[in-house]
Amino acid sequence: MPGKKTSSLKDPQLYEELRDDGASKEKAARISNAAAAKGRKEVGSKGGKSGDYDD
């Protein structure tokens, strides 16, 4: 059917956990698929470093 996207979740358990925590469908799908492809630990450690609040 033209125009219809078929999505496949690679980690449905993580998707459901993220949805239960309030993430949007799109965000939960992106995170769960990235975690399945690269590993949960690598996806979880993504991001920048923050300085100390006392500084």
* pLDDT at residue 44 in the model: 63
Identify the pLDDT of residue 53.
79
1-55 pLDDT, tens per residue?
455 555 688 888 888 998 999 999 998 888 888 887 677 666 666 666 777 777 5
At 24 the pLDDT is 92
- For the chain, give every domain's residue range: 12-39
Q: What confidence score (pLDDT) does residue 46 get?
A: 61
- Position 20 scores a pLDDT of 94
Helix ranges (H only) for the chain are 12-20, 25-38, 40-44
Max CA separation in the chain (angstroms): 57
pTM of the predicted model over 0.75: no
